[in-house]
Amino acid sequence: MTAPCPTACGVLKLLSEVRRKPLGTGPIHNYFLFTGPRATVIFYLVNILHIISSPRKAASASIQLGNGIIEKLEAAYPGSTVKVHDLATTPFPHLEEAKLQSFFTPAESRSPEQQAAAKHSDDAIQEIKDADVIVIGAPLYNFGIPSTLKAWVDHIARAGITFRYTAGGPEGLITGKKVYVAMSSGGIYSEGPSAGYDFVAPYLKAVLGFLGITDVTVVRAEGLAIPGVQDTAVQKALDSVVIEALQTEEVL
> 24 pLDDT exceeds 80?
no
**Residue 131 to residue 71: CA distance in whole angstroms:** 16
Note the pLDDT of residue 6. 35
Distances (CA, A) of 173 to 125, 159, 202, 214: 11, 10, 20, 11
- Domain spans of the chain? 46-245
Residues 102, 108: Cα–Cα separation, whole Å: 11
CA distance 217 to 73: 14
| Average confidence (pLDDT) over 208-213 | 98
Instruction: Report the length, in residues, of the chain.
Output: 252
Quick one: pLDDT at residue 44?
A: 72
Distance CA 128, CA 180 (A): 13
Which CATH topology does 46-245 take? Rossmann fold (3.40.50)
Residues in binding site for FMN? 54, 60-62, 184-187
What percent of the chain stands above pLDDT 90?
A: 76
Binding site: which residues?
54, 60-62, 184-187
What is the arithmetic mean of pLDDT over 21-47?
60
Alpha helices (H) in 143-226, listed in sequence order: 147-156, 201-210
